[in-house]
């Protein structure tokens, strides 16, 4: 025989269980989404522009200077006003400090509003900062060593956090 108070509090317990499950699911979605966004910002946000620089370095290492010059948005037929093909050859050609493009390494990349600054090191030469325009993938020399303004530097934070130095 069931009593009057046998079902007392059962509905409240079920509702409390549903609320806990919804809150746990929402918290899990927030944590996974936050980690996904942080992973994107730290590792993949500049991936396309870094690939553009790698393609430029590969083109230089294969000695295809006309194609490399086109990657700067210039052509031998219609050279850039401030950076003609002769100056490009002086900077990137076989007699330049940056002639060993196969040994070049991308050290760091910095995401700006309209482009990415990619730091490239060459053996026996000073590092060079390249600017890659995000909308056109045109390469040029960077005007700054890093993007101006204040912002979060997640990659630098994690690099310093997990480095042994």
Neighbour-count burial for 65-83, b at 16+ CB within 10 Å, e otherwise: beebbebbebeeeebeeeb
Q: Are 46 and 112 in contact (CB under 8 A)?
A: no
159 contacts: CB under 8 Å, gap ≥ 6: none
Query: What share of the chain has pLDDT > 70, as a percent?
Result: 95
Lowest mean pLDDT among 44-48, 75-79, 100-104, 117-121: 75-79
Q: What pLDDT does residue 58 have?
A: 95
Helix (H) or strand (E) holding 19: helix 10-39
120 contacts: CB under 8 Å, gap ≥ 6: 53, 57, 104, 105, 106, 107, 127, 128, 129, 130
Q: What is the pTM of this model?
A: 0.75
Dump pLDDT digits (tens) for 13-29: 889 999 999 999 999 99
Lowest mean pLDDT among 54-63, 72-81, 132-141: 72-81
SS3 of 59, please?
helix
């Amino acid at each position: 025989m069931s009593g009057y108070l046998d079902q007392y509090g059962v509905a409240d317990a079920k509702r409390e269980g549903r609320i806990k499950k919804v809150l746990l699911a929402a918290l899990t979605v927030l944590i996974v989404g936050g980690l996904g966004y942080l992973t994107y910002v730290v590792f993949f946000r500049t991936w396309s522009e870094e690939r553009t620089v790698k393609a430029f370095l590969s083109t230089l290492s294969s000695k295809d200077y006309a194609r490399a010059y086109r990657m700067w948005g210039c052509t031998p037929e219609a050279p850039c006003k401030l950076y003609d093909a002769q100056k490009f050859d002086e900077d990137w050609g076989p007699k330049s400090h940056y002639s060993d493009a196969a040994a070049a390494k991308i050290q760091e990349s910095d995401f700006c509003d309209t482009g990415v600054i990619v730091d490239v090191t060459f053996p026996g030469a000073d590092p060079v900062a390249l600017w890659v325009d995000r909308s056109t993938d045109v390469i040029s020399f960077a005007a700054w060593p890093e993007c101006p303004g204040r912002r979060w530097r997640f990659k630098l934070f994690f690099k310093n956090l997990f480095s042994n130095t």
